[in-house]
Amino acid sequence: MIVVDNASEDSSADWIEENHPEICLVRNEINEGYAGGCNRGSEKAQGEFLLFLNNDTVHDSGWLEPLVEAINENSETAAVQPKILNYFDRQLFDYAGACGGLLDILAFPFGRGRLFLSQERDSGQYEDEASIFWASGTALMIRKNDFEEAGEFDETFFAHQEEIDLQWRLHLMGRDVKVIPSSIVYHKNAVTLPAQSVQKHYLNHRNSVLMLLSNYSLPLTVYLFPIRVALELVALLYAFVMLDFRHLLGILKSMIWILLHPLTVLRRRRLVKSIRRVRDKTVISQMYKGSIVLDYYLLRKRSYRDLLSSPR
């Protein structure tokens, strides 16, 4: 077990060192975020698989075995996640990952059991071991060699959606990702960053747009980016009308950052080019073809099952 301490100030790292000397403790001098913290931990790991686990999770005994069995069953499977339920209401799919992460073609993430702020109750509707687009970083098991070949987590992201970005690259490498519902984790969610904080809005918007600009081929990027910008402007206007100034400021910060960092986009595009083995058409076949934003806010689709009637 490896614990990475991101320069915390509450003496928790000292407590681990004193009470659990068997744990490999990595102390970062600064807060490197989820991406940097996990990368530092992975550098210490010696196993065939890496398991990234949030510190605000609990789990039943025997939850690891189904994940190991599933990833071992098929050499094409690079990563898996358990079913993730809410810690406080254990029949509610958790916001972060639910029962497998999905992505629409404009790089808006959602999940089986969670669309934006709508969370379904778990009634056994997603019990299949399905291929998904992304496994949540809340509890992510991945082959170490795939993690390293895909370039690890991009530390530019700091936090939020870095696992989606990583697994987009896995798909470009021709690899598969699955959810294993027989394994269950309970997650408190939004403990590190409050759900309505400026920083959370900023990271979510910025990182999603950064994925779109980096991971598609150039012609598809040129085609999709203006559509995504239009939706960002709509979100900006909506935040203004609703007097949601935290969300408004987060969107503005994200747009300004994107404008000021073209070299970061170019660096990331070079990485994608170096590892790409399949065309966009193959990756898009695993995405949701419609717009999750339009389906959710205009067509009032509130569950993943509602989306199945939409174009894919």
Written in H, E and C, the secondary structure of the chain is CEEEECCCCCCHHHHHHHHCCCCEEEECCCCCHHHHHHHHHHHHCCCCEEEEECCCEEECCCCHHHHHHHHHHCCCEEEEEEEEEECCCCCEECCCCCCCEEEECCCCEEECCEECCEECECCCCCCCCCECCECCCCEEEEEHHHHHHCCCCCCCCCCCCHHHHHHHHHHHCCCEEEEEEEEEEEECCCCCCCCCCHHHHHHHHHHHHHHHHHHCCHHHHHHHHHHHHHHHHHHHHHHHHCCCHHHHHHHHHHHHHHHHCHHHHHHHHHHHHHHCCCCHHHHHCCCECCCHHHHHHCCCCCCHHHHCCCCC
Binned at pLDDT 50, 70 and 90, residue 133 comes out as: very high
Could you tell me if 145 and 49 are in contact, meaning their C-beta atoms sit under 8 angstroms apart?
no
Centroid of chain to Cα 143 = 17
pLDDT (average), residues 168-184: 98
pLDDT (average), residues 1-21: 95
Could you tell me if 312 and 290 are in contact, meaning their C-beta atoms sit under 8 angstroms apart?
yes
Binned at pLDDT 50, 70 and 90, residue 192 comes out as: low
**What number of other Cβ atoms are within 10 A of residue 86's Cβ?**
20
Q: Model confidence over 91-130: pLDDT tens digits?
A: 999 999 999 999 999 999 999 999 998 999 999 999 999 9
Could you tell me if 129 and 181 are in contact, meaning their C-beta atoms sit under 8 angstroms apart?
yes
pLDDT (average), residues 149-167: 98
Q: What is the pLDDT of residue 171?
A: 98
CA angle (68 as vertex; 65, 69 as ends), nearest 5 = 85
Q: What is the dihedral of CA 62, 68, 69, 73, to 10 degrees?
A: 170
Q: What is the pLDDT of residue 38?
A: 98
Query: What is the length of the chain?
Result: 312
Q: Model confidence over 265-310: pLDDT tens digits?
A: 999 999 999 999 999 999 999 999 989 999 999 999 999 999 987 5
pLDDT (average), residues 256-267: 98
Given a cut of 80, is residue 228 above it in pLDDT?
yes
Considering only CA atoms, give the Rg of the chain: 19
Q: What is the pLDDT of residue 196?
A: 77
Average pLDDT, the chain: 95
Q: What is the pLDDT of residue 291?
A: 94
**pTM: predicted TM-score of the whole model, two decimal places:** 0.95
Could you tell me if 99 and 105 are in contact, meaning their C-beta atoms sit under 8 angstroms apart?
no
Given a cut of 80, is residue 13 above it in pLDDT?
yes
Q: Is 236 exposed, middle or buried (0-12, 13-18, 19+ CB in 10 A)?
A: middle
Phi, psi of 131 (to 5 degrees): -75, 135
Could you tell me if 83 and 181 are in contact, meaning their C-beta atoms sit under 8 angstroms apart?
yes
Q: What is the share, in percent, of the chain residues with pLDDT greater than 70? A: 97
Given a cut of 90, is residue 194 above it in pLDDT?
no
Given a cut of 60, is residue 312 above it in pLDDT?
no
pLDDT (average), residues 36-57: 97
pLDDT (average), residues 147-170: 98
